[in-house]
Homo-oligomer: A and B are copies of this chain.
Amino acid sequence: MMEQRLSVVALGVNDLARSREFYESGLGWSVAGGTNENIVFFQLGGIVLGLYPEDLLAEDATIKNDRSGSFRGVTLAYNTRAKADVDTVIQFAKNAGGRIVKPGQEVFWGGYSGYFADPDEHLWEVAWNPYWGLNDAGELLLPDVEE
């Protein structure tokens, strides 16, 4: 099954430094742990907002970012408590009428993840991240950036 919750909203961006500047210096938001020159995170309540280069976000989902409108440039992520849950959830979503976009697989950052699409091609990543835990309420709470 798939719990009724959300872990991450990832926004595809064309210039990561510019986007970080907007949210961090402009809006005054604080970046969270894990932020570096390649990806930016903000804690928003129990979920995380991620900024990531749009081409790489599309590549991660194995979707062509050809500006034809097929890739929306936004993905949602559901983080699991256990690695084995990723395949289970993706199969469950398929049985529910979703489309498997990318079967679960090992990813370069050390986790395991895949993607499914809802009926309108909104993309959900299903991810297990060994460095990120969920609390009992299912919230994803990142550490603050170390000073």
Contact = CB atoms under 8 A, between A and B. Distances in A.
The count of identical subunits is 2
Interface in A6-51: 6, 9, 11-15, 18-19, 21-23, 25-30, 42-47, 49
* Secondary structure type dominating chain A contacts: loop
A25 B95 CA distance: 11
Contacts of A96: 22, 25-27
Q: How large is the interface on A (under 10, 10 to 19, 20 to 34, 35 or more residues)?
A: 35 or more
Given A13-B120, A45-B45, A45-B137, 19 more contacts: A2-B28, A4-B28, A5-B44, A9-B76, A11-B122, A13-B119, A15-B119, A19-B118, A19-B120, A22-B98, A22-B119, A26-B95, A26-B96, A26-B98, A27-B92, A27-B96, A46-B47, A54-B120, A72-B73
